[in-house]
Structure 1
Amino acid sequence: MDDTGEWWSARDLQPLLGYLRWEDFRNSIERAKVAINNSGQTADLHASERPEGVVTSGNAPNVTRLNYKLTRYGAYMVAMNGDPRKHEVAAAQTYFAIQTRKAETAAVTAPALPQDYEEALVALLGQVRENKALEAENKVLAPKAGKWDQFLNSDGLCGMTELADLLHTNVNSLTGWLVTTGIFRKLQSKNGGNRNMPRKSYQDAGLFVVKQESKNGWIFPTAYATSHGIELVVESWEKKAA
């Protein structure tokens, strides 16, 4: 706070919202400024750019470090216009959506924005860390992707027969082995037979998808692997063969 009122440093806010690179965070600030202008307010009053010292790096020329001076509303808009793929940003957006709804349904005198902005973001980091801890537990379930995209259909999925072909085996051997590993389980079908299907935890982790399909009047579940699922199966299969 100074003689112009209460404000926050964008550089201080950057790590709280999970941004490692200033350039990426600055893009969120610029998006927020556009949103502020479109709402009929003056963006520069809520997110004003200002020089902040000089950065020296070896023999490179000195560079003036830039920062933004954010009002409470400006900081709020930066969070709401951040990258929702970042856990910190998603948590902040959820928090403020809830708080705004509470303000709308409360008395007219209730504040429209949370009054402890920085404290709220710091508290949200605890929730973010919990989410990341859960992700760490599922890391083995969601490893690398990308190189398997060529095996995916238009829905971004790979059938078990195609996956078996990739591993130079047949689909019954593959799904039977997946049952023994605990990735799949036997599912009793309506016609009395058994079908091997991925366990729910592996579906929830985004590794497999089960679709209800029909053929000759029969409706039955069919398993598909995502690119992450292919990665898991291939790595596990290679370990088995080693």
Structure 2
Amino acid sequence: MHTDTNGPARTDVSPFDAGRVPCAQGGEDHWSARWLMVQMGYPTWQHFEPVVERAKVAAHNQGFNVRTLFTVNREKSGGRPRTDYLLTRFAAYLVAMNGDPRKTEVAAAQSYFAVKTREAEIARPVEMTREELLARAVLEADVAIRELKPKAERYDRFLAAEGDWSVSETAGVIQRAGAVIGERRLFDYLDENKWTFRDGKNKWRATQYAKERGWVSEKPQGSWVDPETGATHLRTPQVRITAKGADRLVGLLTGRTA
């Protein structure tokens, strides 16, 4: 309950208002990702971090500066520093939209940040930021959202087939499921999550970690003969994403799975 010294007590204040971190220069408020994690009903950072990562991917694919929207904040608590993010209103909105829609807490967060984004748009129509302009487009994209359903169904049929795919093909699979990501960005994401790495020749290789979990494989690419020495050399194998791996990537990048 919020008490106004100039009037009666208010009972309509959202719990998400309590987590606002005012900007020292009088700019827009921010929210702690770890504080938001609790409010959205996630028990641990391990469960919540994929939600934040999906929100960052969404921001990146729209051309925004992720570091500006998601400011890294290292928390020191006497032990190992914990990673947190200071989220702008738009970043918090993206995080809420990428949460598990089955959670009532997530639905509450989506409603709150959608309304706040809309209020900011109406209050400052001339001074709207790029983030607020995009948020308005997102809020008015009901038709586009409905169009994602047949794409997801086509993805399910595609994934039901046996085999594996190159990273480029997998990016197409993920796009069929409703996310926007290209081959280069997907390679970066795989590297960040320890699915791939660069070898001594700066070529992409699959990690043992990801291979043991059945997410990736490597396809031999044959060999070539050095015309000067006559020595035979094996070509670098191609990284392939299995059906199991593609399904996991879709879950991480679109929020279709828990």
TM-score, scaled to structure 1: 0.37
Higher strand share: 1
**Largest Rg, 1 or 2:** 1
In the superposition, the TM-score normalised over structure 2's length comes to 0.35
